[in-house]
C-alpha cells in the first residue's frame, strides 16, 4: 500500500529523495523449492516531510508478512550482545532497578537485551511479533509475549497492572507501520517515573555516509532528533537526553519521559536540535543530491568489482543481511560477478537470498574455497567479522567494504 501522507503528522506534502525501483523483501529468504516461483516486489521510494522533517518510504508492506516469521536473531552478533550488556548494566545502576522493578522491551527479538536484566534479578517482559523468535526467547528463559506492540497492547498490559520502569525499543521504531499507535503505547505503559530508551538509525549518518542499503521495506522511517521530538511531544512524551552512537553505521539513543512541568532536557538535546537546524533538517535542500551520490557509489563499486574480475580474481560475499539485499539488487549483481555467499547465522544457512538467489553457506567456506576477495555486506559489524575471519586474511584473503567509498582492507 502506498502512503500519500506523512506517517507521523499526516501532511500531504511529501517530497521525493531517492527511488530504488521495485525490489524483493530484504529479509524474505527463500527455500530451494521457492526458486522457481515469482518473488513479490514492491516500490522502494524515499521521501521527506517538510512539516515534521520525517524521512520515510512510501510503501507499506503488511507487518504480518514482514515479521511473523523472522530470520534475524540478535544473539548471532557478538557486537550486539556486548552493546546490550553495557546498556542493561548501566541502566540497572542508574535507575536502581530491583526485584520490584520491571523492564519491558518491544520487538525484544530472542531476549538478547532482557536476559542481562534478568541475570541481575530484575523482572522483564518481552513483546515480540515473530513467532519463531518469541519461542526462542521463551525457551531461553526470557518471558516473552508474541504480539505487536501498539496502544492496544499497552492498554491491555496496563489494565493487568503491567507498567514499565524502563521501556526499550531498540531498532524497531523504523519498522513501525502504526507509528502514532506505537508511541502512544509507550506513554501508556510507562510508570509515572518510568523512562523509555529508544535506539534508531540516524538520518544524518544515512546521508553523510551514503548508507542507501539501509533502505528497505522493513525500514519505513529514518529519524532525526527533530522528527522524534515532534512525534513524541504529540503523545505527551518529552525527550530528556540523547546520545549519538556509532552502532549500525550511526544511531541515536533517546531517553524520554512523560511530560511534566518538572521535566528538564539535557544540554545534549538542545545542542543536537540546534545542529540539525544548522544543517537544514527541515529543508529539502539538505536531502537534494543524495540520489546522485548513491548513483556515483554504484558506479564506483561495480567498476571495482569488474576490475577485480577482469584481473582473473574470484570474489565471494559475506552477509545475508537486509542491507546486503538492497545493495545487491540495486547494483544488479549476481553469480556472474560473485561466486558464493556466507553468513554466520545458522538460521539463514541453506536458504537463498531474495532476488539474487545466492545459497547461504557457513563462513567456513571462505577457508575451504579461498576466494581472493570477499565483499562485506554486513559492514556495520565489520570489526567483529574481520576479527572472526583472521585466518582467511592471514592466508591472503581481502575484504571489500562497499561504502561510503569502496575500499579494500
Instruction: Please give the Cα distance from 157 to 204 (Å, whole number).
Output: 35
Angle among Cα 292, 26, 18 to the nearest 5 degrees reads 20
State residue 141's pLDDT score.
94
Identify the band that residue 249 occupies on the pLDDT scale cut at 50, 70 and 90. confident
Percent of the chain past pLDDT 70, that is, above it, reads 96
Q: Judge whether 126 and 105 are in contact, CB under 8 Å.
A: yes
Answer yes or no: is pLDDT of 69 > 70. no
pLDDT digits (tens, 9 = 90+) for 104-120: 999 998 898 999 999 99
DSSP 56-96: EESB---HHHHHSS----GGG-HHHHHHHHHHHHHHHHHTT
Is residue 72's pLDDT more than 60? no
Task: Determine if the peptide bond prior to 146 is cis (ω within 30°).
Answer: no
* Mean pLDDT of the region 371-394: 94
pLDDT at 76 over 70: no
Give the model's pLDDT for residue 2: 84
Q: What does the pLDDT average to over 303-324?
A: 95
The predicted structure's pLDDT at residue 292: 94
**What's the pTM value of the predicted model, to 2 decimals?**
0.89
Per-residue pLDDT reduced to its tens digit, 21-50: 999 999 889 999 989 888 989 999 999 999
Overall size of the chain counted in residues:
409
Domains delineated in the chain: 306-408 (3.40.50.720)
Give pLDDT, residue 75.
56
Residue 117's pLDDT is 96
Integer Cα distance of 93 and 206 in angstroms: 33
- DSSP category for residue 366: H
Buried b / exposed e over 214-246, threshold 16 CB at 10 Å, is: bbbbbbbbbbbbbbbbbbbeebbbbbbbbeeee
Pairing of β 190-201 and β 341-342: unpaired
- Mean pLDDT score across all residues of the chain: 92
Name, in order, each residue with C-beta under 8 angstroms of 271's C-beta and a sequence gap of 6 or more. none
Residue 83, pLDDT score: 86
CA 248, CA 219: separation in Å to the nearest integer? 13
> Is the confidence at residue 381, as pLDDT, over 90?
no
pLDDT tens profile 127-168 = 998 888 899 899 999 999 999 999 999 999 999 999 999 999
- The tens digit of pLDDT for each residue in 187-207 reads 999 999 999 999 999 999 999
| Range of weakest confidence among 170-174, 313-317, 333-337 | 333-337
pLDDT band with cut points at 50, 70 and 90 for residue 15: very high
The pLDDT of residue 4 is above 90: no
Q: What is the pLDDT of residue 67?
A: 59
Higher pLDDT, 71 or 182: 182
Amino acid at each position: 500500500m502506498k502512503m500519500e501522507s506523512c506517517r507521523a503528522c499526516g501532511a500531504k506534502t511529501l517530497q521525493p529523495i531517492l527511488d530504488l525501483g521495485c525490489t524483493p523483501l530484504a529479509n524474505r529468504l527463500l527455500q530451494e523449492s521457492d526458486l522457481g516461483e515469482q518473488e513479490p516486489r514492491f516500490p522502494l521510494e524515499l521521501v521527506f516531510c517538510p512539516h515534521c522533517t520525517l524521512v520515510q518510504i512510501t510503501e507499506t508492506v503488511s507487518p504480518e508478512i514482514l515479521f511473523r516469521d523472522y530470520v534475524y536473531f540478535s544473539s548471532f552478533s557478538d557486537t550486539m550482545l556486548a552493546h546490550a550488556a553495557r546498556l542493561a548494566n548501566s541502566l540497572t545502576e542508574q535507575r536502581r532497578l530491583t526485584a520490584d522493578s520491571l523492564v519491558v522491551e518491544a520487538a525484544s527479538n530472542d531476549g538478547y537485551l532482557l536476559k542481562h536484566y534478568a541475570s541481575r534479578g530484575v523482572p522483564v517482559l518481552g513483546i515480540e511479533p515473530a513467532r519463531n523468535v518469541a519461542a526462542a526467547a521463551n525457551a531461553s528463559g526470557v518471558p516473552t509475549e508474541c504480539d505487536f506492540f501498539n496502544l492496544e497492547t499497552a492498554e491491555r498490559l496496563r489494565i493487568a497492572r503491567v507498567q514499565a520502569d524502563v521501556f526499550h525499543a531498540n531498532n524497531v521504531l523504523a519498522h513501525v507501520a502504526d507509528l502514532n499507535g506505537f508511541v502512544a503505547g509507550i506513554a501508556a505503559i510507562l510508570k509515572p517515573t518510568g523512562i523509555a530508551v529508544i535506539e534508531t538509525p540516524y538520518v544524518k549518518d544515512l546521508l553523510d555516509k551514503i548508507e542507501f542499503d539501509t533502505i528497505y521495506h522493513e525500514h519505513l522511517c529514518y529519524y532525526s532528533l527533530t522528527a522524534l521530538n515532534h512525534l513524541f511531544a504529540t503523545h505527551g512524551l518529552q525527550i530528556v537526553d540523547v546520545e549519538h552512537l556509532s552502532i549500525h553505521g550511526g544511531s541515536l539513543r533517546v531517553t524520554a519521559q512523560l511530560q511534566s512541568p518538572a521535566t528538564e532536557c539535557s544540554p545534549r538535546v538542545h545542542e543536537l536540535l540546534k545542529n540539525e537546524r544548522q544543517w537544514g533538517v527541515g529543508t529539502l535542500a539538505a536531502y537534494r543530491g543524495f540520489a546522485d551520490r548513491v548513483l556515483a557509489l554504484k558506479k564506483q563499486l561495480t567498476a571495482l568489482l569488474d576490475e577485480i574480475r577482469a584481473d582473473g580474481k574470484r570474489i565471494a560475499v559475506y552477509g545475508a543481511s537486509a542491507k546486503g539485499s538492497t545493495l545487491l539488487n540495486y547494483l544488479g549483481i549476481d553469480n556472474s560477478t560473485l561466486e558464493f555467499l556466507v553468513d554466520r547465522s545458522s538460521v539463514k544457512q541453506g536458504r537463498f537470498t531474495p532476488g539474487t538467489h545466492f545459497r547461504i553457506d557457513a563462513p567456513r567456506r571462505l577457508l575451504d574455497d579461498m576466494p581472493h576477495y570477499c565483499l562485506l555486506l554486513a559492514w556495520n559489524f565489520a570489526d567483529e567479522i574481520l576479527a572472526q575471519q583472521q585466518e582467511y586474511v592471514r592466508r591472503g584473503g581481502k575484504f571489500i567494504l562497499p561504502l561510503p567509498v569502496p575500499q579494500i582492507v
